[in-house]
Structure 1
Amino acid sequence: MTRPRRDPRAEWAAQFVAGAGLRPRYDRTRRAAAGRPRRDPRSEREAQRVGAAARPRYDLGQAGRPLGEAVVAPPRSVPEAPQTIIVEAPAFLVAVVPDAPGGRLSGHDRQVLGAARALAGREGAVAAIVEGACEGLGAAGADRVLRLEAAEGYDPAARAARVEAALAALAARHTLFPESLDGGDLARRVAVGLREPLFTNAEVVAAKGLVRPARGRRVEQSLAAPRFATVAPDAAADYAGPPREARAVPIDGPTPPPPKSILSATRIPADPATVPLSLAEFVVSAGNGLTDLDSFRQVVAALHATPGASRVLCDAGLMPRHSQVGASGTVLAATCYFALGISGAPQHLQGVAGCEHVVAVNTDLHAAMIERAGLAVVQDAQAVMPALLRLLAQETAGRATGAGKAP
């Protein structure tokens, strides 16, 4: 088989554009009757362009496409919604009593639910015992939810009595509490009330048993999964599987509360400006991109936050050394971290790795702190701070007006 002989004159004649004027013009994109089409690099490059933004962007994956073939964008795959896992008849239950301050799971609560999932395995189910409404229990790994009536004021004895009645109704094989200020106190009250031993401060939670440090962390104590245990912070990972059902479990009749021994209790919040960074819940930090430190201090006071800073400002003496955030300063475990003018050096990102929510304000779209943030504002912090102060003042004035109109 022989290849057909090319006829350049016929090809030129086929490419001739009639009516183009006195000067002959040829369309070199036309395919000749026999032979290979001529490449047009400009049209190929234009076909690779993505979007119509001012800064051109090209999809180099379209390179080498034959000329004349339509450039069809690949179909965008729509991720399927994860299916909810339903456990109809579990072999046993693992109960979890989270702190859930304000009806919201803390990071420690999610870790305890993840530890409960490790104990439950495939055959068991996790039952969460909470007071009032609580968000995100199914996504955190709870198969059953038992809601108790919230206590009025601070009454740990009444709460412990309600939890004891709920555990008796559930007949759970294991019960886990967070080793926190409120969770540890509740766990000890419930264990004493039910006359059960309590394995405290477990740092390893697995189906084969629990492990905790002892004797100044010189030795480890291990025990087969007990009925009652408290889980230390960062002892287990959060549940990362598909969402669970979180089916509501009814309670058979109200539980009469015991006589109240605490006559009056008032929670006095600490001054955020004096709280150590390692214990702060809300931290607002200033970086090298911030020059108006007076406005920064006003923002910190208006948000009732704890002030922090990057290493650059602390080295320059503009902020105290104890406010430095990062691997060489203080490693945070805050619920929210608000970074103003911080680019995000590796040491600084190590210091905010344990923060649940990160908000960043920076002019650089590609800054590491912007990528780490869950909410990013690409703007100069000097312009954001006055606008934020005005919004906070308007909100405060609105609340005062509403309170004055209330009967």
Structure 2
Amino acid sequence: MSRPRRDPRAERASHRVAGEGPRPRYDRTRTAAGSGRLRRNPRAERAAQRIGGGARPRYDVSQAARPVGDAVAAAPRTMPAAEAPKTIILEAPAFLVAVVPDAPGGRLSGHDRQVLGAARALAGREGGVAVVVDGACEGLGAAGADRVLRCEGAEGYDPEARAARVEAALAALGARHVLFPESLDGGDLARRVAVGLNEALFTHAEVVAAKGLVRPARGRRVEQSLAPPRLATVAPDAVADYAGPPREARALPFEGAPPPDTPKRIVSATRIQADPATVPLALAEFVVSAGNGLTDLDTFRRVVTALHATPGASRVLCDAGLMPRHSQVGASGTVLAATCYFALGISGAPQHLQGVAGCEHVVAVNTDLHAAMIERAGLAVVQDAQAVMPALLRLLAQENGEQAAGEEMAP
């Protein structure tokens, strides 16, 4: 509570005895008169500035500049609710820029997101981005798609049939520009579509803008630029992802004529998965790394085998000779481009974080809540990795047992 503030000058004046004399005289028995102003209570002011609703205390210091004598309101404040980003709806785009992503497994890859970012730069404010995919695909609106045209995918590996479906979809869309990822599948599809449509293809574009596309040539000694063509491929890691608000991703009905049945020249094609234990770290999709917080490396190797991952390690374990040098992750080791990175007992030195900057998903297990790797991770487990690994092995064994039992019961 507030109490009257002392005013020494007023108190001294009230003690002075009236009368003339060469020297002033004071009566200390009189009651001192205060100034009437309220004394500040810093604790009450600080409590009034606190914003509730969070685990950590937060304060509103906008009342710090009030005059000394003013009372501070002690009404509780609540943390403002975060507004969800508004979805951008483009009703009638002036033109369309089509994107044909690889979308392995029904989800966009990092390269696909970059191609969508290039398409958004090419479309500008008035144009729309339409995605042509086989079957369902996740995250198209957040990646910048205004329209989605889904085609019925064929069974097995049939690039000629897929090229025919894409040609029919592009004819139905009437897109002004079409972008493909310059990848193994995307580059092959782009060249098949270019031959089928009898149009030129601008490949390996590294700069995509409304004014034109640019690519390196002659051993990267010169640059070739061209006004935006109709068909083009985008090089990996050349264009940034779309970082704006989510788009509508409205589904479009396929109104074009179905592609004619073409004889299947490829009878059978199967992708043979490489052994994750021998895959180089730079090419690995799933990496599980051990840090200085691990002492049981035998259990760690069992976890890597059970997860079908590629083993990695921090510099501390490699310098100690506990892990081979080629498994070192970081700026001084191997820079990863994996889809998922699983860190066990790694605190996260700056050089190590540079090595996992290109990973799409990061999972970390560490006892330190404030470790840099915990802050970098999308999913963090604050626990001793030595206790997490056996529990993870038990869960994997239980899941494998249930799958085996289900396969035996199936007719």
TM-score class, shorter-chain normalisation, is: 0.7 to 0.9
Aligned partner (choices 100, 103, 106) of residue 100 of structure 1: 103
Q: 1:105 to 1:58 in 2, by over 3 A?
A: closer
Equivalent position of 1:169 in the other structure:
172
Post-superposition offset of 1:72: 3.5
Q: What is the alpha-carbon distance in structure 2 between the residues aligned to residue 115 and residue 238 of structure 1?
A: 8
Post-superposition offset of 1:44: 6.6
Q: What is the alpha-carbon distance in structure 1 between the residues aligned to residue 310 and residue 279 of structure 2?
A: 7
**After the TM superposition, which segments of 4 or more aligned residues of structure 1 sit over 3 Å from their partners?**
3-7, 36-53, 55-75
TM-score, L = length of structure 2? 0.86
Aligned partner (choices 214, 220, 224) of residue 227 of structure 2: 224
Equivalent position of 1:28 in the other structure:
none
Q: What is the alpha-carbon distance in structure 2 between the residues aligned to residue 42 and residue 197 of structure 1?
A: 74
Aligned partner (choices 307, 327, 330) of residue 326 of structure 1: 330
Aligned partner (choices 152, 155, 173) of residue 149 of structure 1: 152
Aligned partner (choices 400, 406, 409) of residue 405 of structure 1: 409
The question of 1:82 aligning with 2:71 is answered: no
Q: 1:242 to 1:48 in 2, by over 3 A?
A: closer
Q: Percent identity?
A: 80
Q: What is the alpha-carbon distance in structure 2 between the residues aligned to residue 52 and residue 148 of structure 1?
A: 47
The question of 1:133 aligning with 2:132 is answered: no
Post-superposition offset of 1:254: 3.0
Equivalent position of 1:35 in the other structure:
36
Q: 1:39 to 1:86 in 2, by over 3 A?
A: closer
Residues 38 and 69 in structure 2, CA contact (< 8 A), matched pair in contact too: no
| 1:158-197 to 2 correspondences below 5 Å | 158-197=161-200
Aligned partner (choices 343, 348, 351) of residue 347 of structure 1: 351
Post-superposition offset of 1:60: 8.8
Equivalent position of 1:201 in the other structure:
204
Q: Specify the code of the residue in structure 2 equivalent to 1:277.
A: L
Residues 161 and 257 in structure 1, CA contact (< 8 A), matched pair in contact too: no
CA root-mean-square deviation: 2.8
Q: 1:72 to 1:306 in 2, by over 3 A?
A: farther
Q: Specify the code of the residue in structure 2 equivalent to 1:230.
A: T
Q: Deviations over 1:67-122 (max 9, x none)?
A: 98553443322222222222222221110000011110111111100000000111
Q: What is the alpha-carbon distance in structure 1 between the residues aligned to residue 333 and residue 389 of structure 2?
A: 25
Q: 1:89 to 1:38 in 2, by over 3 A?
A: closer
Q: What is the alpha-carbon distance in structure 2 between the residues aligned to residue 241 and residue 229 of structure 1?
A: 23
Q: Specify the code of the residue in structure 1 equivalent to 2:74.
A: V
Q: What is the alpha-carbon distance in structure 2 between the residues aligned to residue 202 and residue 245 of structure 1?
A: 27
Q: Which segment drifts farther, 157-166 or 55-64? A: 55-64
Post-superposition offset of 1:256: 3.1
Q: What is the alpha-carbon distance in structure 2 between the residues aligned to residue 87 and residue 171 of structure 1?
A: 17
Look up the SS of the partner of 1:312 in the other structure.
helix
Equivalent position of 1:291 in the other structure:
295
Q: Specify the code of the residue in structure 2 equivalent to 1:35.
A: G
Q: What is the alpha-carbon distance in structure 2 between the residues aligned to residue 306 and residue 256 of structure 1?
A: 43
Look up the SS of the partner of 1:190 in the other structure.
helix
Q: Which segment drifts farther, 208-217 or 332-341? A: 208-217
How many positions carry a matched residue from both structures? 382
Q: Deviations over 1:41-63 (max 9, x none)?
A: 6767777888899x996859487
Equivalent position of 1:266 in the other structure:
270
Q: Which segment drifts farther, 252-261 or 348-357? A: 252-261
Q: What is the alpha-carbon distance in structure 1 between the residues aligned to residue 53 and residue 171 of structure 2?
A: 65
Residues 145 and 248 in structure 1, CA contact (< 8 A), matched pair in contact too: yes
Unaligned runs of 5+ in 1: 10-31
Residues 6 and 35 in structure 1, CA contact (< 8 A), matched pair in contact too: no
Larger Rg, first or second structure (1 or 2): 2
Q: 1:366 to 1:85 in 2, by over 3 A?
A: same
Q: Deviations over 1:124-162 (max 9, x none)?
A: 111100000111111111111110001101111110110
Q: What is the alpha-carbon distance in structure 2 between the residues aligned to residue 402 and residue 294 of structure 1?
A: 30
Aligned partner (choices 308, 313, 319) of residue 304 of structure 1: 308
Unaligned runs of 5+ in 2: 1-6, 15-32
